[in-house]
Chains A and B, each alone.
Chain A
Amino acid sequence: MTGIEPVGHASADAVEQLIPLTEEELLARLGALALGESLGFGPADFGRYVRIGRRWLESQASTLRDLLCLSPTVLAARQMTAGDDAVLAAAIADVLLGIHDLPTAATAALLLTRRGLNTLCSNG
């Protein structure tokens, strides 16, 4: 027994698709997901989405910390996947699926992985 739950294929696939994206693109995606479907005329709003994505992460920091920092799945994944962002992010996304939809969970998970979970977990 490793103590780590097998990571769902859906999470792994969703994270894999996001790997080529930069931090700005991931934040913009998170911002767009927070607002959901929209009609209407919003020109040139990439920066607006980035800003909303950043604030989403800030506003969720406490919840994310509670969910992730002591999660056995995440702790085990951190030990086993040193340097492999995709695998760790997929494990984090699996945990986040309890409260967020898959696109949001995968995007947030990859952002948190790239920023380093230590950053999140040491700011409690």
Chain B
Amino acid sequence: MTRPAIAYAWAARRRTLLNDTSASEQSWEDEHSNDPRWSAAVRLAARRSQQLKHGTEETQQALASLWVERVNTGYMAITLHPLAGEFALVADSGLQELLDLTAVSVARHYRGSSFDAAHCPPAARSSFGRLYQIQLGQFYLYGRFCEPSPAGLDGGAVAERVMQEATLFALAHELGHAVAATEHRAGHVYWLDEQQAPANLGHVAVEIEADAFAVALCFADLWGASVGEAEATLRMLAIRLTLNAMEAVEAASLVPRVDRHLPARRRWNGIRSYLAERFPAWLLERVDELWEALAGAFAFTEASVVVPPFEGVLFSLARDGWLDAYDPAEEEQWAQREQLVWHFRLPLRISEYLIGADAVSTVRGSEPDHAETFRVGHRAVTELLEGLPDWLVGDDPAHGQATSGELISYLRIRERWPAPFCDGAPLPIHLMASAVHQRLNGRFPRSPETRR
């Protein structure tokens, strides 16, 4: 296979715009991508496409015209750019970072020759969930991944396979858009009968088509084959991880774009109904049970108490078998990161009370009661919300949507602070961003432990 010249040239010209590191630091590339994992995913897709029941030729044509450009900014975007019959897929590194992390957790549930929730004690899952909150919190605080996961967090070969299948699903979804490019660019379905497509799905229908194409490709080599339970489970979990990761990051937007993709659960239900025609019900039910156990650790939830656990994050990860060793000197950095994210996860009313407490703290002689303190904080959040510009809270599909990370940057300028902070105490910026986020999007989900 030769490199698609137009797509490659387009991506190469944009490397300085897209990357944090300079283009000269770029050392690896082949005919598919500048990243070994994405290249492996393209080759895997090419192999699986040979066993598709329909559409092998057009899939292989789309693959031959595809260049995958990995960029290292930590954002979660994957965008497909049509270029005179070829396609450049720009894959920001944030998705891989998040999937890498979650793949380690999935791998922990594999032992012997099967996946089982019992292979990972709830306490171990809980300490992993704590790490996940800190890492996912970066999307809320900065809009992207800025800090890596702890060194030594390694799920071995099983995690690598999960990651490979998850990357393949993400690639295959975009490949579906590429195969149906003309129709999907116009917002029309390609495989479905336009007359029979449910009217209420609107433009989400093209995303459903891309999901259907992706799952057919991901499982193409298993149809009619004698399938190992673990292999089928691994592939299904990889798809759920990918859907969950995309949804988790979309939720960090100040105005989540819920109409662009269906919620992860509904997307999975669509995929599941397709798989149900090919796999036994008991296998799908086992995957569902396993996912329910895993999903508790893969959610950005409301903090159940005001301060984080005293026990260090790295210590608890090592105690529960996620790390063989760690540098105690790094524990303080992790504590600071967790503190920031923890504050962001506080329930709205507590955030507003704490904002009020900061506001009244510099007023000499003032001793308001708790109710008045809360009201001061609530008013400050309301005033800020009413004055926020459209680019932060509006919905402009042409230019994407802002996250609370952009709001935090916006609030670094004092003139933008609401009363009484504009001429009083320093604004607690992260608490304010959290309060605004929750006012716009509703409270964060409560953690499973809290619900019990």
What is the interface of chain A, defined by CB distance below 8 A to chain B? 22, 24-25, 28-29, 31-32, 34-52, 55-56, 59
Contacts and interface: CB of A to CB of B under 8 A. Distances in A.
Interface in B163-185: 173-174, 177-178, 181, 184-185
B77 A42 contact: yes
Contacts of A56: 17
Given A44-B250, A48-B77, A52-B18, A39 B82 contact: yes
A3 B76 CA distance: 50
B391 A47 contact: no
Contacts of A59: 16-17
Contacts of B246: 41, 43
Contacts of A55: 16-17
Given A36-B81, A39-B185, A46 B177 contact: no
B215 to A, nearest CB: 15
Nearest to B184: A39
A38 B80 contact: yes
Interface of B is mostly: mixed
B144 A47 contact: yes
A39 B80 contact: yes
Given A28-B391, A35-B90, A45 B77 contact: yes
B403 interface: yes
Nearest to B74: A48
B402 interface: yes
Interface stretch (B149-157, B339-347, B356-364, B393-401): B393-401
B14 A35 contact: yes
A44 B89 contact: no
Contact of A44 (B14, B18, B81, B400): B400
A48 B400 contact: yes
Given A36-B81, A39-B177, A39-B184, A47 B18 contact: no
Contacts of B181: 39
Interface of B: 14, 16-18, 73, 75-82, 89-90, 92, 139, 143-144, 173-174, 177-178, 181, 184-185, 207, 246, 249-250, 252-253, 256-257, 260-261, 389, 391, 396, 398-403, 405-406, 410
Contacts of B92: 48
A45 B75 contact: yes
15 contacts: A28-B400, A34-B17, A37-B82, A37-B185, A38-B79, A38-B80, A40-B77, A40-B78, A41-B246, A44-B143, A44-B253, A44-B403, A46-B400, A47-B75, A49-B399
A46 B185 contact: no
A43 B76 contact: yes
B391 A41 contact: no
Contacts of A52: 17-18
B81 A35 contact: yes
B78 A41 contact: yes
Nearest to B181: A39
A46 B391 contact: yes
Contact of A43 (B14, B174, B257): B257
A43 B16 CA distance: 22
Given A43-B246, A47-B143, A55-B16, A25 B80 contact: no
Contacts of B184: 39
B217 to A, nearest CB: 16
Contacts of B391: 22, 24-25, 28, 46
A46 B310 CA distance: 36
A42 B14 CA distance: 17
A45 B82 contact: no
B209 to A, nearest CB: 12
Contacts of A22: 389, 391
Nearest to A36: B81
Contacts of B185: 37, 39
Given A32-B399, A39-B177, A44 B17 contact: no
Contacts of A32: 398-400
B403 A47 contact: yes
Given A32-B398, A47-B405, A41 B173 contact: yes
Contact of B401 (A38, A41, A46, A51): A46
B130 to A, nearest CB: 24
B78 A49 contact: no
B436 to A, nearest CB: 15
A34 to B, nearest CB: 6
A59 B22 CA distance: 12
B76 A44 contact: yes
A103 to B, nearest CB: 11
A34 B78 CA distance: 16
Contact of B403 (A25, A38, A46): A46
What are the 5 A-B residue pairs with the smallest beta carbon separation, nearest first? Answer: A42-B77, A45-B400, A44-B253, A38-B79, A43-B250
A38 B81 contact: yes
Contacts of A35: 14, 79, 81, 90
- Chain A CB within 10 A, most for which of B252, B256, B399, B401: B399
